Structure 1
Amino acid sequence: MLFRLAFALVALTVLLVDPIDAVSQGMLSNVDLNSSEMSMAEMTRAEVEALLKAAPQDPAGQRSADLQGKRLSNLDLSGLDFSGSNLRLVKFNRTNLKGARFDHAILNQAWLIDADLTGASLVNASLLGTQMQRAKLGGADLNGARVTADLSGASLTGARLTGADLSADMRNQSMGLMRGVLKSADLRNADLSGARLSRADLEFAQLQNANLANCDLKQADLAGADLSNANLAGADFTGTDLASALLPSAAALEKASNLDKALNLNLARRHP
């Protein structure tokens, strides 16, 4: 009894300290995206630029601004350099971030729903628990990024995710399984070579002509995904769910690794 009471008090403390932690993946229906908190900005573009310019520099000359928790939705912040900045919990909903730089930035638990990050650079960025549903990331660079974000319905055509880590965080499951969620995402022509997608959710994702060479797909959900003409050389399909997935040619499949250990392979469709 005392143990259960102590556990409840710890859980309540977590919610009080950081209520956004309670908004786990799949709970977006409980959030009013039209509320002032989620749709309005408390700063202008000029004020954001000034804050970035005034941020302290490290020995290498890199400025690292602290914008944690700021409301910056519906702004035009295209082309700005947020590299190395603390952007945890920032609201960027429907914000124009075309060509912006977020290299090494912390975007944990940030909100980028319907944001436009076309051509943006997020190299080695941290995107833990980030909400990015329907975001536009065409041609974006996420090389080496750590991503347990919800990218359901997002557009990542031609995006670069080489060496990115979208695998499930098996050490921190107090608020549910945190992993890269790419349900119905558009990943056509994307480069995911060497990416870690273990246990990631790619259900119904569009992966036509995508490069999945040497990709870790162990226990990932690819049910209903379209893998037409995808490069699967060295991709590990151990425990991967392929129910109703559209697979590439037999020649491409021969280059995959552990395809015989995939789940529901008999229910997958074969590309002509």
Structure 2
Amino acid sequence: MSFRLAFAFVSIAALLVDPTDAVSQDMLRSVDLNSPEMTTSEMTRAEVDALLKSVPQGDGRAADLDGKRLSHLDLSGLDFTGGNLHLVKLNRTNLKGARFDRAILNQAWLIDADLTGASLVKASLLGTQMQRARLGGADLSGARITADLSGASLIGARLAGADLSADMRNQSMGLMRGVLKSADLRNADLSGANLSRADLEFAQLQNANLANCSLHRADLAGADLSDANVAGADFTEADLASALLPSAATLAEARNLDKARNLNLARRPR
């Protein structure tokens, strides 16, 4: 086959690909995670705490930490409520019990961060890098999340009403959506969450509460949903290849399971 003919076939194939199935750009490819930019802090805990406390309460203002380097610090228990943490570096930072309610964490870096028991109610996490973050017992209720949480631990976390769906209006960087590949969501509460087109491939969802959530076109390939509550959950076009499903009685309470993809390839409980 000539080069020109081969190129023509590739070009035609590219046109046939659904652009909405594209994945977001891998930000890690062009970033050195071992560089000082990603591993050091330009402030101490005392300085961060002083900044947070210097903002007057009740006048609508919030702390501005835009772009700050705060990696490897102990910031546990601090209150960042409503703060601007756009592009902040918090890699491997101890954030246990910290409060980020309504905070802006867009494009922030929290790789390997410890957010155990943290509160992120209605926080904005757009394009946020949170691979392997620890969020056991954290509260992300009502948060907007198109973050990469691959390998993250969210055991017992609360994501009720959270929106992890794909942003179909802005795809200049690919499909921005919640990515929970191989994430641990055992006993997590995702009731009423929007998981449309979210990536839950190989996620652990045992005993998770998925009641009334949207799983429209979500990728659940290889996921473990054993004993999960799927009452009212919408499985329209969800990919269930090799997924371990809950009991037949539980599945009977789900919606549009017959419209799921690869249902015949799903695994049934013994």
Contact 1:161 1:190 in 2 (8 A): yes
Q: Hey, what's the Cα distance between the residues in 2 that align with 1:156 and 1:252?
A: 23
- 1:161-180 counterparts in 2 under 5 A? 161-180=159-178
The 3-state SS of whatever aligns with 1:74 is coil
**1:40 partnered with 2:40:** yes
2:52 aligned partner: 52
Cα deviations across residues 59-111 of structure 1 (Å, max 9, x unaligned)? 3xx66100000000000000000000000000000000000000000000000
Partner of 1:262: 260
Residue type matched to 2:142 in 1? Answer: G
> Secondary structure of 1:247's match?
coil
Q: How far 1:139 moved relative to its partner? A: 0.2
How far 1:26 moved relative to its partner?
2.8
Cross-structure match for 2:238:
240
Deviation at 1:256, TM superposition (A): 0.5
> Does structure 2 retain, via aligned residues, the 8 Å contact 1:77–1:95?
yes
- In structure 2, what is the equivalent of residue 88 of structure 1? 86
**Superposition RMSD in Å:** 1.0
Pick aligned residue for 2:106 from 102, 105, 108:
108
Among 138, 141, 149, the alignment partner of 2:139 is 141
For 1:169, the aligned partner's letter is: D
Distance 2:206 2:180 in 1: 14
Residue in structure 2 matched with residue 69 of structure 1 by the alignment: 67
1:123-142 superposed Cα distances (whole Å, 9 cap, x missing partner): 00000000000000000000
Task: Name the aligned partner's letter for residue 215 of structure 2.
Answer: L
Partner Cα separation in structure 2 for residue 270 and residue 225 of structure 1? 12
How many equivalent residue pairs?
Answer: 247
Aligned to 1:155: 153
- Partners of 2:219 and 2:58 in 1: how far apart? 41
Segments of 5+ residues of structure 2 without an aligned counterpart are 1-23
Cα displacement (A) at 1:58: 3.3
Shift in alpha-carbon separation, 1:25–1:150, aligned structure 2, 3 A: farther
Q: TM-score normalized by structure 2?
A: 0.90
Q: Runs (4+) of structure 1 moved beyond 6 Å?
A: none
**Could you tell me how far apart the structure 1 residues matched to 2:118 and 2:61 are?**
18
Number of the residue aligned with 1:3: none
Q: Distance in 1 between matches of 2:79 and 2:256?
A: 42
Shift of 1:25: 4.4
Measured in 2, the distance between the counterparts of 1:96 and 1:188 equals: 22
**What is the CA–CA distance in structure 2 between the aligned matches of 1:25 and 1:218, rounded to whole Å?**
22
Q: What TM-score, normalized to structure 1?
A: 0.89
Identity %: 83
Contact 1:25/1:150 (CA < 8 Å) preserved in 2?
no
Distance 2:61 2:73 in 1: 22
Task: Name the aligned partner's letter for residue 28 of structure 2.
Answer: L
